[in-house]
Amino acid sequence: MNTIPDFTISPRIDQVGVEERASRFTKRSIKNETKINGLKLALNMIDLTTLEGKDTDGKVKQLCYKAMHLHDVYAGLPTVAAICVYPSMVGVAKKALGDSGIKVASVATAFPSGQSTRDIKIRDTKFAISQGADEIDMVISRGKFHQGEYNFVFDEIAAIKEACGNARLKVILETGELGTYDKVRKASDIAMYAGADFIKTSTGKISPAATMPVTLVMLEAIRDFYYKTGKKIAMKPAGGISKAKLALHYLVMLNEVLGEGWMNNEWFRFGASSLANDILMQLMKQRTGLYQSGDYFSND
């Protein structure tokens, strides 16, 4: 049974300080060998995602094929961490991925709005699990959060976590709708104490999505939670991270805030669709000295 702490006493966030510190991570000098290793690590941390109303079985199968054949670009490249799809596409992805080791993640709980009943959200989650989902990406009820009904948000996350069984739960805060860093920190604390395995910035359906200052606030919440409880929580910035250079900035920040123990895809993910292509282009540039055309890689 999870214990509900007093969420009214989450620490206040220094907005100027957070934004200045996040900006400094973008100015770190990275040596070429470290850059190549960082790009490969970032590739291995991607949840390759398609979440559109026009998704088809064929599109999901193509995405899975791409995920399993990155080494076709050149030998030695890792796979991505997971394919992220709607619950109705989980079975298609699971079959296509086979024994590749790539996980299937599924959004659930009336994604992206979260505007539904708890019963429907639980059934949505259980359906995705029954189809083979390894991970569930849920959205919090932002309306309830803004009304100050923090125990409602906590209880709902805890109920979804129970419905997940052995699947890992990523809790999406939709930080672009929360408004302030103080609220991002409070929502992070609620999610972690309620049983989240990951905290995640965004659905990718609204702007702003992930930003470095917001991610920094969430990483510091994870650090403080670990110091208090000894429990590691994973992090997933999602939406708006489409360039390899930006992904490297995020990895610098991750390493400096949480350390080496979080520098793998068990504890950090990028929610992205186009990031993989840019990383592949940058790796080919490092290897050959030439940029490949963007048309060389499939658009997802």
Residue from 66, 94, 121, 200 carrying the catalytic annotation = 200
Annotation says 137 is catalytic: yes
Q: Establish whether 200 is a catalytic residue.
A: yes
The token duo for 57 is 């079985």
pLDDT at position 73, please? Answer: 78
pLDDT at residue 193, as a whole number: 96
Token pair listed for 273: 């669709």
Question: Is residue 235's pLDDT more than 60?
Answer: yes
φ, ψ for residue 106 (rounded to 5)? Answer: -135, 135
Amino acid type, 68: M
Given a cut of 80, whether residue 277 has pLDDT beyond it is: yes
Percent of the chain with pLDDT over 90: 85
pLDDT band at 4 (very low <50, low <70, confident <90, very high): low
What band does 60 get if pLDDT is binned at 50, 70 and 90?
very high
Instruction: Determine the Cα–Cα distance for residues 209 and 214; give it in Å rounded to an integer.
Output: 9
Closest alpha carbon to 44 in 254, 232, 259, 263: 263
Half-sphere exposure of 199 (CA within 13 A, CB side): 28
* 60-78: average pLDDT: 90
- Residue 288 burial (CB < 10 Å; 0-12/13-18/19+)? exposed
Domains of the chain plus CATH, in order, are: 7-296 (3.20.20.70)
Q: Which two tokens stand for residue 28?
A: 């770190």
**pLDDT above 80: residue 287:** no
Output the CA–CA distances (angstroms, integers) from residue 196 to 156, 234, 282, in the order listed.
Answer: 11, 9, 34
Q: What's the average model confidence in pLDDT over 48-71?
A: 94
User: Does residue 285 carry a catalytic annotation?
Assistant: no
Strand partners, 234: 198
Is 48:59 a contact under the CB 8 Å cutoff? Answer: no
d(CA 33, CA 151): 48
Instruction: Check 66, 126, 186, 236 and give the catalytic one.
Output: 236
Structure tokens given for 45: 């941390």
| Active-site entry in 137, 189, 197, 278 | 137
Rg of the chain (C-alpha set): 19
Q: What is the pLDDT of residue 289?
A: 67
